[in-house]
Amino acid sequence: MKKLLVAESAGFCFGVSRSVEMAESLLKRYGSCASLGQLIHNDDVVAALERRGLRVIETARQAKAGEQVIIRAHGVSPEVYSALEAAGAGVTDATCPKVKAIHTIVRRASDEGRFVIIIGMREHPEVEAICGWCRECAVFENVQELSLWLETNENFWKKPITVVVQTTQTRNNFNECCEIIKKRCTNAKISDTICLATFTRQEEAAQLSGECDAMVVIGGRHSANSLHLAQICSEHCGNVQFIERTDELDLDRLKDADTVGLTAGASTPAWIIKEVRNKMSDEIKVEESAVEKELSFDEMLEETLKTIYNGDRVTGTVVAITGTEISVDLGAKYSGFIPTTEFTDDGVKVEDVVKVGDEIEAIVVRVNDVEGTAMLSKKRLDAAKVWSDIEEAVDNETVMEGVVTEENKGGVVVNVKGVRVFVPASQTDLPRDAELSQLLKKTVRLRITEVNKARKRVVGSIRRVAQAERRERIEAIWNEIEIGKRYNGVVKSLTSYGAFVDIGGIDGMVHVSELSWGRIHQPSEVVSVGDEIEVYVINFDKEKRKISLGYKDPEANPWTQFTNRYQVGDIANVTVVKLMPFGAFAEVVPGVDGLIHISQIANRRIAKPEDVLTVGDVVEAKITAIDQEKHKISLSIRALAEPAPVVMNEPEEEEADEVGGEDALVYDVSVDGTATGVIPEEAEEE
């Protein structure tokens, strides 16, 4: 064995790495947790996690109340989520986002009445979970099974069918199945759901095995993607070893091979790959100046990694900063540099964003083998990461943030981390006739709904986020609402009987009688549309979704202010506000009026109140009676006047005195300070 080629994509994929990291985080936080099934298809990794406190359970019924249970990357059916909830367990969902996307596809297909065909291993946990999100489905492992089923089920040829594929399936198997479906089924929707990382690993394995005399594939016996890697390598190379760990490696089978390839499945950790690599290093030899010199595998691997190409992603250390470039040590024979212009946008100083000693990641733009330099770009890497984030945001329904930069035909453009996202006018969450220009330069939250990287086209929706946030706010309000609770609200509209106030997504109504303690005829006398006001809950009905609000301050109740200040027998300066045939209304304090009966206006008999009083007059009056229950006040000017001379033979005067005595309770004041009734018959008739 003289040469070793190592697959760049060997080892943990994103989904597996993510699930292991989540498990380690749970163990660190709680000390123990459970995994529904083996977390990954690698016994060594599972055993290591078990020693740290991970408990493997086979069914949701085995979960303990209060225990944290992690859903592995393969995902589970909706019934399993319900069973875990019923068991009282906490759920940490590590389902791979790519698998989640398949669940969404088949669930929507079932809702539309479509039959689902799944290409994959029927007993694999990923496929079993996908089946749980379908109403009607069938699983086929290869084109032979599918062909036989279609031949014997002609009634499905014209039915609406949706096709998905297990994320770790081979491209050839999927393509062969699709060809049969396209020939037979006239109403089929086919979704290519093979994971990009899986496809890349398979393509690399096919190319590598075609160049090598022998191949070593590391992976779990039950790992679908590892089995497929071994299968692909066997199609191109006659000497393939499929092993789980180092002690299974047969070095004798590698002695006669000049070139050996090494790859590993998505469930293989780096330390197992390294162990296999170290064991092989004793057998690797290269010729140098006609003298055989034995080198370790680490040295060979290091030499391999030192070769970099345009488009490679590299990591290095900043060793120097000049006025034009940043020098980066890549640990290779190439000296990397990044133009400072990539860091000095908008007048930013380069030393404010990067310093000597910083580790930096970038993409190789151009390699100069003659000079031994490599031009790098951090901007391109950041842009690639952003595109990756945006593509994942579609499947994950991630909420992103950006700034509206321009008004476009039919919508607006939002800058999301440097990527232009078009938001149609219907998705801006503005009223139909509203000016889109009001969004310019504003920061908005949106969901990505469509991505076409080839055309550099991204479409988003502000409305979806706004609607979801409104629903959350509304539910929060209904869950926490109680009588007396105060809210800051905005007046949305006015009617003749009150004002509607938005208290965070829900409109409550402030009746006109609750707007002011004083007399008002229209709500517009107190508030206007758009006003921000503080209100409190008077009553609510969750079933009818109605809320009654108050605006006037209970502590400013005029009747309370009156009773705190005056009592029967006190003298007050009152203002005449209205004249009636039976007497005069006078304001004692703002919002509280008393009645001066006609018999109590003067110490003599008068024909009508206006003979003595005029609206606006301020006079002294004695409080002769207070009814706390009915809020009635009687006033008397006569009680403070000098007695009138006695006039003989005037029975009419005596009759008048009998009708309205000095202490008669003649006036009713409501809670809000307005007159609601009077005792004298004259007043009642009025």
Q: Which residues are catalytic?
A: 126
Beta-strand runs (E) in 128-185? 137-140, 161-165
Cα 601 to chain centroid, rounded = 71
* 444: β partners: 402
Q: What are phi and psi of 355, to 5 degrees?
A: -135, 160
C-alpha span between 308 and 334 (Å, rounded): 8
Secondary structure letter of residue 638 according to DSSP: G
**Separation of alpha carbons 189 and 72, rounded Å:** 28
Pick from 605, 587, 580: nearest CA to 656? 605
Whole-number Å distance between alpha carbons of 532 and 240: 74
DSSP codes, 530-567: T-EEEEEEEEEETTTTEEEEE-S-GGG-HHHHHHHH--
- From the list 432, 433, 431, 412, the residue with the least C-alpha distance to 421 is 412
Three-class HEC string of 317-336: EEEEECCCEEEEECCCCCEE
Residue 579 identity (one-letter amino acid) = L
Beta strands in 322-391 (DSSP E): 325-329, 335-339, 359-368, 373-377
Q: What tokens appear for 593 in the block?
A: 């009026």
Please name the residues in contact with 298: beta carbons below 8 A apart, sequence gap of 6 or more: 277, 278, 281
In whole angstroms, how far apart are CA 203 and each of 171, 193, 199, 209, 215?
Answer: 9, 16, 6, 10, 15
Report the side by side order of strands in the sheet with 54-57: 54-57, 33-36, 68-71, 90-93
Structure tokens at 329: 């040590």
The total of other beta-carbon atoms located within 10 Å of residue 644's CB is: 12
**CA atoms of 70 and 91, how far apart (whole Å):** 6
- Alpha carbon distance 146, 153 (integer Å): 10
Smallest CA-to-CA distance from 461 within 452, 470, 449 is with 449
CB 319 within 8 A of CB 336: no
Closest by CA to 184, choosing from 207, 206, 210, 161, is 161
What spatial distance separates the first Cα and last Cα of the chain, rounded to whole Å?
Answer: 117
Tokens found for residue 322: 């000049």
| H or E element that contains 498 | strand 498-502
Q: If we measure between CA atoms, which residue out of 538, 507, 667 comes closest to residue 597?
A: 667
Which tokens hold the place of 310?
């345009």
Residue located via tokens 């790859």: 263
Q: How many CB atoms lie within 10 A of CB 305?
A: 14
- Residue 233: phi and psi, rounded to 5, are -65, -35
Which residues 6+ apart lie within 8 Å of 369 measured at CB?
none
Report yes or no: 514 and 533 within 8 Å, Cβ to Cβ: no
Asked if 229 and 206 count as a contact pair (C-beta separation under 8 A), the reply is no
Helix/strand/coil for 483: coil
> Cβ distance 11 to 223 under 8 Å?
no
